[in-house]
Structure 1
Amino acid sequence: MRVRNYSLIGRALQLGLLLLFALVMLTPLLWLLSTSLKGVAEDIFSSPPGLLPTQPSLQAYGTLFSQSPMGQYLLNSAMVSGFSVIANLLFCSLAAFPLARMKFRGRGMALALVVATILIPFQVVMIPLYVLMVQLGLRNTLIALILPNAATAFGIFLLRQSFLAVPVELEEAARMDGCSPVGEWWNVLIPAARADLITLGMLVFIGTWSDFLWPLVILDDPNLYTLPLGLQQLSSSFSLDWRLLAAGSIVSIVPVLLIFVLLQRFILPSASGDAVKG
Structure 2
Amino acid sequence: MTAAPATPRPVPGKDSRPAAAPRARRRLPFSPWHLALAPLALLFALPLLWVLLSSVMSDAQINRFPPALWPSHIDLGGYRYVLGNAMFPRWFANSLIVSVATVVSNLVFGTLGGYAFARMRFAGSRLLLVTMLATMAIPFQLTMIPTFLVMKRLGLIDTLGALIVPSLVTPFAVFLLRQFFLSLPRELEEAAWIDGCSRLRVLWSVVLPLSRPALSTVAVLTFLTTWNDLTWPLIAINHDTHYTLQLGLTTFQGLHHTKWSAVMAGNVVTVLPVLLAFLAAQKSFIQSITSSGLKG
TM-score, normalised to structure 1's length? Answer: 0.90
What residue in structure 1 maps to residue 142 of structure 2? 124
Please give the alpha-carbon distance, in whole angstroms, between the structure 2 residues aligned to 1:115 and 1:85.
20
Contact 1:167 1:272 (8 Å CA) reproduced? no
What residue in structure 2 maps to residue 106 of structure 1? 124
Please give the alpha-carbon distance, in whole angstroms, between the structure 2 residues aligned to 1:244 and 1:64.
6
Letter of the structure 1 residue corresponding to residue 48 of structure 2: L
Q: Which has the larger radius of gyration?
A: 2
Greater share of helix residues, 1 or 2?
Answer: 1
Contact 2:107 2:218 (8 Å CA) reproduced? yes
Q: Which one of the candidate residues 33, 41, 51 is aligned to 1:22?
A: 41
Matched, 1:97 2:93: no
Instruction: Give the unaligned 5+ runs of structure 1.
Output: 274-278
What residue in structure 1 maps to residue 9 of structure 2? none
What residue in structure 2 maps to residue 142 of structure 1? 160
State the Cα deviation string for residues 159-211 of structure 1 (Å, max 9, x = none). Answer: 11111111101101111222111111111222222111111111111111011
How big is the shift at 1:236?
A: 2.0
Please give the alpha-carbon distance, in whole angstroms, between the structure 1 residues aligned to 2:207 and 2:267.
38
Matched, 1:166 2:190: no
What residue in structure 2 maps to residue 156 of structure 1? 174
What residue in structure 2 maps to residue 32 of structure 1? 51
How big is the shift at 1:52?
A: 2.4
Letter of the structure 1 residue corresponding to residue 190 of structure 2: E
Identical amino acids, percent of aligned pairs: 38
Return closer, same or farther for 1:46/1:233 CA change in 2, 3 Å cut-off: closer
Please give the alpha-carbon distance, in whole angstroms, between the structure 1 residues aligned to 2:231 and 2:62.
30
Please give the alpha-carbon distance, in whole angstroms, between the structure 1 residues aligned to 2:74 and 2:103.
37
Please give the alpha-carbon distance, in whole angstroms, between the structure 1 residues aligned to 2:266 and 2:50.
14
Return closer, same or farther for 1:98/1:15 CA change in 2, 3 Å cut-off: closer
Secondary structure in structure 1 of the residue aligned to 2:101:
helix
Matched, 1:223 2:253: no
Contact 1:77 1:227 (8 Å CA) reproduced? yes
Q: Which one of the candidate residues 189, 208, 226 is aligned to 2:226?
A: 208
- Between 8-17 and 82-91, the greater mean CA deviation after superposition: 8-17
- Between 213-222 and 5-14, the greater mean CA deviation after superposition: 5-14
Letter of the structure 2 residue corresponding to residue 133 of structure 1: M
Return closer, same or farther for 1:84/1:251 CA change in 2, 3 Å cut-off: same
CA RMSD of aligned residues (A): 2.5
State the Cα deviation string for residues 126-172 of structure 1 (Å, max 9, x = none). Answer: 11111111111111110110111111111111111111111101101
Contact 1:166 1:271 (8 Å CA) reproduced? no
Please give the alpha-carbon distance, in whole angstroms, between the structure 2 residues aligned to 1:271 and 1:37.
38
> Counterparts in 2 of 1:24-103, with a 5 A limit?
24-39=43-58, 43-103=61-121
Please give the alpha-carbon distance, in whole angstroms, between the structure 2 residues aligned to 1:267 and 1:193.
12
Count residues in correspondence. Answer: 272
